[in-house]
């Protein structure tokens, strides 16, 4: 079964907050035995105390903590003590993977650096995550990375202040990079019998994820600016509209066939035939003129869900703007939930991090 693919694999997680633990969660969900080592001197992972306003103050763990730590065995250990270090080293001798996200130099001081651990276990895969690289000591909280990598500057509405993305997305992107590196290292070990050190940084992961925004500058010499939810290269794409019931939806007209269909559904042949909107390049250029005209037509529809059904029937990409209670009320979202327990034994629900299907 897919969820037991890594059964027998042993992972020691010397990581905290989000990115490193998200890597450990990936292996835990696929059947690996993941032992999460937390700092006893600080009462464990700091995210245990990052509680939502609705959570009880005396809980030992938070909803934030559980988002990337369910399915693991946790140990509170003082790695500065001889007994604590020996306890963790005993686990590492039998482990396949060690995940760390220490500040530069800290792993060596604690005796948890790669050179030392491969002496204990030559087949170990040592997966290291840093903020800005091995030689940069800056503290690397996600919003700092969003700022330094351009995401913060690009997020928000024109003429207004930058806006942080509502999820620590740089952490998630870096976790994916590290997971990919670990999987390559596992393949290499299967071929050679040797372990490896895999390392990446949040900064590198962030820049690698700028995708077309990066090449708009590097190749085309166009420095992207804040556009809200709009797309710098496509229109209407990311533009928000309201139906008469006050509900919002978003359009993603990616090809000319979508544009023509949209004109048919909204019964606006004059827009389809207007030279200002004849091609995507023209629509991007004349976006400020186009959007109010589309809003006038969309606003005439009584209910958002009826219009979305009409769009779906005609293969026009569009989506409802939903809050999270509405998101998790959707049948498709329900299939991505996992039922588990918090540390007090209370039943909780989390979102799966492994959402691919593997079949023969």
Which residues are known to be catalytic? 171
CB 87 within 8 A of CB 73: no
Q: How far is CA 243 from the centre of its chain?
A: 31
How far is Cα 55 from Cα 104, in angstroms, rounded to an integer? 34
Longest dimension (CA), the chain: 78
How far is Cα 310 from Cα 116, in angstroms, rounded to an integer? 62
How far is Cα 340 from Cα 71, in angstroms, rounded to an integer? 8
How far is Cα 113 from Cα 107, in angstroms, rounded to an integer? 5
How far is Cα 290 from Cα 271, in angstroms, rounded to an integer? 8
Q: How far is CA 118 from the centre of its chain?
A: 31
Beta strands 125-130 and 97-100: pairing type?
parallel
How far is Cα 145 from Cα 109, in angstroms, rounded to an integer? 26
Q: Is 317 left (phi over 0), alpha (psi -120 to 50) or beta?
A: beta
């Amino acid at each position: 079964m897919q969820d037991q693919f890594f059964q027998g694999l042993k992972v020691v997680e010397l990581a905290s907050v989000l990115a490193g633990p998200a890597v450990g969660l990936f292996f835990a969900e696929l059947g690996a035995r993941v032992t999460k080592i937390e700092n006893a001197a600080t009462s464990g992972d700091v995210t245990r105390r990052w509680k939502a306003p609705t959570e009880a103050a005396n809980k030992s763990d938070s909803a934030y903590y559980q988002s990337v730590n369910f399915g693991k065995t946790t140990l509170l250990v003082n790695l500065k003590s001889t007994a604590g270090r020996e306890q963790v080293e005993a686990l590492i001798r039998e482990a396949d993977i060690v995940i760390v996200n220490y500040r530069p130099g800290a792993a060596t001081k604690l005796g948890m650096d790669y050179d030392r651990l491969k002496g204990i276990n030559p087949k170990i895969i040592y997966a290291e995550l840093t903020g800005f690289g091995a030689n940069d000591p800056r503290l690397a909280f996600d919003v700092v990375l969003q700022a330094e990598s351009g995401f913060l500057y690009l997020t928000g509405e024109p003429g207004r202040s930058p806006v942080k993305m509502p999820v620590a997305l740089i952490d998630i992107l870096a976790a994916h990079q590290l997971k990919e590196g670990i999987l390559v290292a596992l393949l290499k070990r299967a071929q050679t019998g040797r372990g490896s050190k895999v390392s990446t940084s949040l900064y590198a992961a962030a820049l690698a994820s700028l995708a077309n925004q990066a090449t708009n500058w590097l190749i085309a010499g166009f420095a992207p600016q804040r556009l809200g939810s709009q797309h710098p290269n496509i229109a209407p794409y990311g533009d928000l509209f309201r139906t008469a019931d006050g509900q919002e939806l978003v359009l993603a007209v990616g090809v000319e066939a979508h544009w023509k269909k949209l004109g048919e559904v909204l019964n606006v042949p004059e827009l389809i035939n207007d030279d200002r909107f004849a091609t995507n390049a023209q629509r991007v250029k004349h976006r400020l003129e186009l959007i109010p005209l589309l809003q006038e037509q969309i606003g005439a529809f009584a209910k958002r869900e009826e219009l979305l059904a009409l769009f779906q029937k005609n293969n026009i990409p569009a989506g409802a703007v939903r809050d999270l209670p509405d998101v998790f009320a959707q049948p498709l979202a329900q299939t991505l939930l996992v039922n588990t327990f918090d540390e007090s034994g209370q039943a909780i629900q989390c979102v799966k991090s492994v959402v691919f299907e593997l079949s023969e």
